[in-house]
Amino acid sequence: MIPDPLLRENGPFGSILVVPLPDPGCLITYQMDYLVRHQPPGLLPCYLRSRSGQAQVCLDTSGLKPLDEAFPESGRSEKRGRAVLRSICRCLIEAEDHLLPIKQFMLHPSLVFVGHGEEVLLGFWPIRHKNAGNQSDGTLAELVETVAAAFAWSDGDTRQAVQAARAGLHDLAAYLDPEPVRTEPVVQAQPGPEPKAAIRRRPDARWLLTVPHAAAALLTLAVLQGWLDQARPVLLPILGSLV
C-alpha–C-alpha distance, residues 109 and 127, integer Å: 21
CATH superfamily to which 7-176 belongs: Transferase(Phosphotransferase) domain 1 (1.10.510.10)
Amino acid making up residue 223: V
Question: How many C-beta atoms surround the C-beta of residue 78 within 10 A?
Answer: 14
List pLDDT tens digits, range 119-128: 999 999 999 8
Average pLDDT, the chain: 82
Helix or strand (DSSP H, E) at 214: helix 210-242
Task: Spell out the domain ranges in the chain.
Answer: 7-176
- Quick check: 4 pLDDT over 60? yes
List pLDDT tens digits, range 159-198: 999 999 999 999 999 999 875 544 455 455 566 666 666 6
Beta bridge partners of 114: 65, 120
Whether 108 and 1 have beta carbons less than 8 Å apart is answered as no
C-alpha–C-alpha distance, residues 53 and 14, integer Å: 23
List pLDDT tens digits, range 47-71: 999 998 899 999 999 999 999 999 9
Eight-state DSSP code of residue 186: S
Q: What is the three-class DSSP state of 127?
A: strand
Q: What is the three-class DSSP state of 12?
A: coil
For the chain, strand residue ranges (E) read: 7-11, 14-20, 46-51, 54-60, 65-66, 105-106, 113-114, 120-121, 123-124
